[in-house]
Structure formats: structure tokens, C-alpha cells
A and B are shown apart, each in its own frame.
Chain A
């Protein structure tokens, strides 16, 4: 999967770049031929890419949106999300361990729309001054109390009608139970925290016993609802 790169060619030394695609002169406002650089997004490494290729209806991350990314690791997926949200959006990347946090800082230096937060996501009050209201939470933490972490962050930072995209690893939450049962339990935990689940997709050819759960937070009651 390819997505156009936010940072131009000369700045980054070596990444997985594909051939430049050029726009015809008539398409661009200035009238000059513009070359857009595309970057490969590996679904075997990134859960969002695997979800998109798996056919999820909507990932709720669009240009201009504000995203809270919990479990950012070294920042490879975060850089792709930053490409999507563009210059007008923002990505708040939270990562607790120090070594990938260092790499995250390096990624954030080159991209102005990433705000790196090297803190424990279990205590959102510790970084409450850095984040405003966000449109979407993406969580890839692989912790047994994942639902609680997401709920806590959502209560503080997620807007009403915002969405949460959660990557659930069945073996991490409960290694003895069947994956289907684990996913169902996670969904019910989310429902108790004022989330309305929209869809759930297992990432089969790319990851084993993983699923992505997409839920809406405090959905706005529409007048013509049934």
C-alpha cells in the first residue's frame, strides 16, 4: 500500500520509497509538473495498514484530524498516520519505554505534526497539559488492561462522537481462552465504558489471533434513531 509522503525527498536519507509518481502540469495550481513521493506501508508491520487492507469500513483518521496514538513504539506506524493527517492535523504519540521513545523523538523531530509523549498511558493526567481534544484514539498497547487504558484516555481526551480504533491481541489479554471469546469480552468491556462498537476485523493473513475493534465514543443521539 502506498501513501504520499509528507516530507520531501531530500530530507530523509533512506526509507522504503517507491518510484515518484508525477502529476500532469494541468492538475497542479501553479502549472508546473509536481512529483509526489510515495512510501510503502507494510501491513505485516503496521496494524492500521492490515486493517485497511482487510476491508474495514472506516478508520476515522482523515486529513486534518487529531489522533491520540497510544503504544507508538519506534514511530513507524505513527509516521504513516502523520502522513494521513497532514499539516493541519496532529498526532499525539504516547510510548512508555525509553529506547523506542528515543526513536520516536527522532521521528517527531522531522515531522511537525507529531507530539511525542514518553509517559505511561495508564496515567493520562501526567500528560494532560500536552493534549487537547482529539477526534480519534488509536491503541496498540498489548496489555491485559487495555480496555481500561483506552477508556481512561477517552474520558479525558476523546470528543463526544469521536472514535476509538483498538488493536487487540488475544494471546496477550488471555492466552488460555479462545480468541473469539477474548474479542467478545473486550467489546463488552468497552460497552460498559460508554463506547458503542461499530465493527471488528481479524487481521488474518498478516497477524495471527489479532483483531481491530472500532467503536464510537458517546455517540450523538440522532433525532430519527430507532
Chain B
């Protein structure tokens, strides 16, 4: 029974330790210590054997892109540890190179955006941010009876816009060109709706009396619409490019600010942080008013 066995306490047998005259040899190894050592040894052995096998089964034609930068010296692989041991001067030079590269990219994008803006005049923006056009007339009566379309000599549909407001004579000439000469592919920026409106009026006034059928007119209208579509697509692509170039130039400016701040902070002079880094902008520091020589 358990209760009787508990009357006489079982003695916990203690481990025997290293004798005093053998203390210089370290601890007395027991089975558990040996086991720990053996497992570690065999793990290492297994790794070595596995590597030996892989080396023996190596594909001589193997290629990895890392091979460009690493070298083999006397049959041994020499790893490129230059980036770990760099002198401070070299680090400074490399950081300066980074700064110049960022500045170059910023300049490139600003110039390209400038060049794009030279011919992207925001003409489709429907009067957003346009100026005011004042016309001076002779008397108050003229001001009351002022008709925009008549003053500019254009049709009422075009009177509202500033860009490409053709006169009636120009519209006639354009219509004559488009309907009379179907072989010419050059167009002078005409509009399909205008052309269809006036074609019936002006066909009598033309020098070349060409009787066009409704089918031919429809075909011409469809071609005009297609052309207008491709032009609009190209134009929107250009505007998108302008916007993305501007955004990229701003990003480069922020990156440049970060690098310049880093350079100054690593430089001479006692300084204190005035403003923490916030929303992409670098931290702001203030230096002591002292000549640094």
C-alpha cells in the first residue's frame, strides 16, 4: 500500500560529480550531456555530408545573377563583403553620388513637364480658369443689342468658346475642302458637327458642283468621329504624362530634402531638433550660432 511505503522516505540519489584531482578536466560527463554533444555533432556532420553530395552533383552550367558580383579565388568562393567595411570618406562620396542622382532625376522631370506644358494648353477644360474678354462698342444702344455670334462672324454654336472659334467664311472653306476634295487627308482642326450643319447651305456656293449622297456624308461624319476619338485619347495621354511628371518631380524634391538634411546632420556644429519628421517632410534642426571654421 502507498501509505506504508510513504512511511520510510525514498532517498533521492544524487549524481556523482567530478573528483577534486580531476577538476582541471571540466565536468564529469553523464549520458544526458553526451547525448546533447552527440546530437550537435551529428547535425553538423549531416550538413557537411549534404553539402559534399551537392557539390559532387553540381551542374557545371548553372547561373545565378549574383555570380556577376562574386568571384572564385583558387577554387574558393570569395564573397563580396565590401559593403560591410566602408571607410567614412567612401560613405560620404557614395551619399553625394546619391544626391546628384536624385537632383538629376528631378531636373529631368521638371524639364519634361515644362516641355509638355508648352503645347498642352488646357483647352478642353470648359472655361475653367479662363480670362474675361471685354469688347468695346460705340454706344449704349450697341451694348444692348450686342450679339456675340454676329460680332465674331461665327455661328451661334461656336460663339461660347474661345479656342478655335471659326468665322463663317472659314467654315465654308473647310466644308468645301472636306466634301469637295476627298483625297486630301490633312485637316485644319475642323469639327464634325459644324461641317454637317453647313454642308447643305454651302454646297450651292462651291466652285466644284459635287452632288453628295447622304451615305457619303454619313461616312465622312463617321470618319471625323473616329479621328476625334483618337486625338482625344492621345491628348488625355499627354495630360496624364504631364501630371505624373509633376508628381514625380515633387517626390524627387522630397527625397532631395531628406538627403540634404541627413548630410547636414552628419556634419559639424551643435544642433537641436526643432520639428519631428512629419508626413514625408524631413525633421527640422536648428544649429548653434557659431562659426565652424
Residues of A at the B interface (CB closer than 8 Å) are: 1-2, 16, 18, 21, 23-24, 26-27, 40, 42-45, 53-57, 187, 196-206, 211, 226
B181 CB, nearest partner CB in chain A, Å: 9
Q: Which of B125, B162, B184, B186 contacts A54 (CB 8 A)?
A: B162
Stretch at the interface among B24-32, B80-88, B115-123, B262-270: B115-123
Chain A residue with minimal CB distance to B119?
Answer: A40
CB of B183 within 8 Å of the partner chain? yes
**25 A–B pairs (Cβ distance < 8 Å), ordered by A:** A2-B119, A16-B118, A21-B186, A23-B186, A26-B183, A26-B184, A40-B118, A42-B117, A42-B119, A53-B123, A53-B162, A54-B131, A54-B133, A54-B162, A57-B135, A57-B152, A199-B135, A199-B136, A200-B133, A201-B131, A202-B132, A203-B131, A204-B130, A205-B121, A211-B131
Q: Which of A40, A187, A198 contacts B135 (CB 8 A)?
A: A198
Q: Are A202 and B131 in contact (CB under 8 A)?
A: yes
Q: Which residues of A contact B133 (CB under 8 A)?
A: 54-56, 199-202
Q: Which residues of A contact B161 (CB under 8 A)?
A: 55
Residues of B at the A interface (CB closer than 8 Å) are: 115, 117-119, 121-123, 125, 129-136, 138-139, 151-152, 161-163, 165, 183-186
B111 CB, nearest partner CB in chain A, Å: 12
B185 CB, nearest partner CB in chain A, Å: 7
Cα(A21)–Cα(B186), bound, Å: 9
A25 CB, nearest partner CB in chain B, Å: 11
Q: Which residues of A contact B132 (CB under 8 A)?
A: 201-202, 204
Q: Which of A16, A43, A55, A197 contacts B162 (CB 8 A)?
A: A55
Cα(A2)–Cα(B186), bound, Å: 15
Cα(A56)–Cα(B151), bound, Å: 12
| Given A54-B130, A55-B165, A57-B152, 19 additional A-B pairs, CB 8 A | A1-B121, A23-B186, A24-B184, A42-B117, A54-B133, A54-B162, A55-B161, A187-B136, A199-B133, A200-B134, A200-B136, A201-B131, A201-B133, A201-B134, A202-B132, A204-B132, A205-B122, A205-B129, A206-B121
Chain B residue with minimal CB distance to A49?
Answer: B121
Cα(A139)–Cα(B162), bound, Å: 23
Cα(A226)–Cα(B142), bound, Å: 10
Chain A residue with minimal CB distance to B162?
Answer: A55
Chain B residue with minimal CB distance to A201?
Answer: B133
Name the residue in B123, B130, B161, B165 with the highest tally of chain A Cβ atoms < 10 Å from its Cβ. B130
Q: Which residues of A contact B152 (CB under 8 A)?
A: 57
Q: Are A24 and B163 in contact (CB under 8 A)?
A: no
Q: Which residues of A contact B129 (CB under 8 A)?
A: 204-205
Q: Which residues of B contact A2 (CB under 8 A)?
A: 119
A-B pairs with lowest CB-CB distance, top 7: A55-B162, A202-B131, A204-B131, A42-B118, A200-B134, A197-B136, A205-B129
Q: Which residues of A contact B185 (CB under 8 A)?
A: 24
Q: Which residues of A contact B186 (CB under 8 A)?
A: 21, 23-24
Cα(A206)–Cα(B152), bound, Å: 23
Name the residue in A26, A56, A201 with the highest tally of chain B Cβ atoms < 10 Å from its Cβ. A201
Q: Which residues of A contact B138 (CB under 8 A)?
A: 226
Q: Which of B115, B134, B183 contacts A199 (CB 8 A)?
A: B134
Q: Are B163 and A55 in contact (CB under 8 A)?
A: yes
Q: Which residues of A contact B136 (CB under 8 A)?
A: 187, 196-200
Cα(A175)–Cα(B121), bound, Å: 28
Q: Which residues of B contact A21 (CB under 8 A)?
A: 186
Q: Are B117 and A44 in contact (CB under 8 A)?
A: yes
Q: Are B118 and A44 in contact (CB under 8 A)?
A: yes
Q: Which residues of A contact B139 (CB under 8 A)?
A: 226
Cα(A1)–Cα(B186), bound, Å: 17
Q: Are B119 and A205 in contact (CB under 8 A)?
A: no
Cα(A16)–Cα(B121), bound, Å: 16
Chain A residue with minimal CB distance to B133?
Answer: A201
Q: Which residues of A contact B151 (CB under 8 A)?
A: 57
Cα(A88)–Cα(B56), bound, Å: 87
Cα(A18)–Cα(B115), bound, Å: 11
Q: Are A205 and B118 in contact (CB under 8 A)?
A: no
Q: Which residues of A contact B121 (CB under 8 A)?
A: 1, 43, 53, 205-206
Q: Which residues of B contact A26 (CB under 8 A)?
A: 183-184
